[in-house]
Structure 1
Amino acid sequence: MNTTHIILQGLEPIHQRYQQLLQEIADIASAGNVVKLNDSAARFEQVSLDTDAWVSIQELCFKAELDVTALDKKLSLSDFKLLAMDMDSTLITIECIDEIADMQGLKPQVAEITEAAMRGELEFQESLTRRVALLKGLDALALQRVYDERLQLSLGADKMLKALQQAGLKTLLVSGGFTFFTDRMKSRLQLDYTHSNLLEIDHGKLTGKVSGIIVDADEKQRTVERICAELGVTGKQAIVMGDGANDLKMMSVSGLSVAFRAKPVVRAKADVAFNFVGLDGILNLF
């Protein structure tokens, strides 16, 4: 492994509670220096890691419910110009379509399809078409109820967005979810760009169909590339966050990919995986 430092962070103060673990990690990594970033984060510098040592550290941290990231260089926010995010279960805590389905009494059936798609076991377009079809006849007012009653930002989302926006990054919300929600997120969080699926509504009822291009994995990647081109930057100047298999293609063109509360297939391929800390954990990497 070509690693210069690792960053450890948790939801609670780590420097007192995990003192023994911190020392154990420093020994395994042959760390030349340990820097306290804040009460909940530390950076181990000048580390020497082989694959076995890195696996051991990951296992120790996961057991302690701490997130650990290995980086081959120190990152600067000035290296990045765009933050691209998935919405459902990434920027927000829910899968909107599952909660809409709950209004129909169909949440278990829809959630099962959602999970299969997120794990990569089912092609996204097929999964979306099947799930939306189950919503046929539902009063469109259910969308507002989901937004008002169930939609919450993920832990640390607000802090992360404010910091990255203040640093000058443009923001893109690209989602296999629906414009009803991404439009409201754009206004609420002052995002620069959004792209998602349009639910077809007729006489106040959902028709069970989506209008236009389905935002699947390929469309997500194309969107990130298109926005980068508009900004005159490369994909390597983008940070991309997601949690499901349909996020992998857009994550693959980024300079920094972040898996948040993600499926194993996504965690394995991302540069950074946050299983415990909030989205603002990314700030400790810079």
Structure 2
Amino acid sequence: MNLILQGLSADSAAASRIAALAGAARVLPVGANAYRCEQVQYSDALKAEIDAACLAARLDHAFVEAGRKLSDFGLVAMDMDSTLITIECIDEIADMQGLKPQVAAITEAAMRGEIEFRESLARRVALLQGLDASALQRVYDERLRLSPGAENMLAAAKTAGLKTLLVSGGFTFFTDRMKERLGLDFTHANQLEVVDGKLTGKVVGGIVDADEKQRTVERVCAQLGIDTRKSIVMGDGANDLKMMGVAGLSVAFRAKPVVRAQADVALNFVGLDGILPLFA
């Protein structure tokens, strides 16, 4: 296996220490702040040691098969809130009602897996009843920001021939705009009901929960004529685990502990383009 180490700064001394701990045959730079440690004999015990050492050094790491290329995949699928973008849109919408703490607490519990997603969404959306729909545009204009490395990652994926999917338990108002802004191929999200310019506190149609996220990845892969193992799936919360579970590479981005523990790769410090050194 190769062990990829990367951080926000070029700490070659820390990388060398961790490479020695891993028993790497050699260490090569694969980017400004990334290193490939080659011919590492993987074991669960070694992974636990590397986990602790990298956390202390504020480095991200991943064990990857030698020779794997980004073009081996056909799809990159992403969660939206707190993955492709830095905010939870529903929390920011609720802030327009003065209800951000109440909604954010439900969001956090759902992302940790403590509340079933459908229940959490219904409870949060209900609190938005009566809010002027113009609040959605304000959130988009004033608060929505792309996560670090998002555009670099998408550009590299497209160059390598991958299609792009944004699948979200959030709302079509935002995924539609992300699709146009970033040139994404597919999007799927929940639709907020608006009547007479006001949010009704309900969603229209089916709910995009964990099961629907998984089905969406499977549908898009089938449409592309590829196995789901040819997909890279990125997420941060418990409702992303099912779609991450069918992927060939699952990536936890700034994720909850339950997600980091089950993902193939966890990016805690670097941006979304932290997946690129895995294939360098």
TM-score range, shorter chain: over 0.9
Please list, as runs of the form range in 1=range in 2, the aligned pairs for 1:159-178 lying within 5 A after superposition: 159-178=152-171
Between the aligned partners of 1:6 and 1:186, the Cα distance in structure 2 is 34
Partner residue in 1 for 2:2: 5
SS of residue in 1 equivalent to 2:97? coil
Aligned length: 279
Amino acid at match of 1:209: K
Partner residue in 2 for 1:14: 11
Between the aligned partners of 2:21 and 2:112, the Cα distance in structure 1 is 33
**Cα offset for 1:54?**
1.9
**Cα offset for 1:60?**
1.1
SS of residue in 1 equivalent to 2:82? coil
- Candidates 144, 148, 156, aligned match of 2:149: 156
Between the aligned partners of 1:261 and 1:201, the Cα distance in structure 2 is 32
1:34·1:45 contact (CA, 8 Å) conserved in 2?
A: yes
**Cα offset for 1:24?**
2.2
Instruction: Say if 2:50 is the partner of 1:57.
Output: yes
Structure 2 spans left out of the alignment, 5+ residues? none
- Candidates 16, 20, 34, aligned match of 2:27: 34
Partner residue in 2 for 1:270: 263
SS of residue in 1 equivalent to 2:266? strand
Amino acid at match of 1:82: L
The TM-score normalised by the length of structure 1 is: 0.96
Between the aligned partners of 1:26 and 1:135, the Cα distance in structure 2 is 51
Structure 1 spans left out of the alignment, 5+ residues? none
> Which shifted more, 179-188 or 33-42?
33-42
Q: 1:247-271, CA deviations, whole angstroms, 9 ceiling, x for partnerless residues?
A: 0000000000000000000000000
Please list, as runs of the form range in 1=range in 2, the aligned pairs for 1:26-105 lying within 5 A after superposition: 26-105=19-98
Percent of aligned pairs with the same amino acid: 68
- Candidates 106, 111, 132, aligned match of 2:104: 111
The TM-score normalised by the length of structure 2 is: 0.98
Provide runs of 4+ in structure 1 moved above 3 Å. none
> Which shifted more, 66-75 or 85-94?
66-75
Instruction: Say if 2:172 is the partner of 1:179.
Output: yes
**Cα offset for 1:36?**
1.1
CA RMSD, 1 decimal: 0.9
SS of residue in 2 equivalent to 1:137? coil
1:139·1:204 contact (CA, 8 Å) conserved in 2?
A: yes
1:243·1:261 contact (CA, 8 Å) conserved in 2?
A: yes
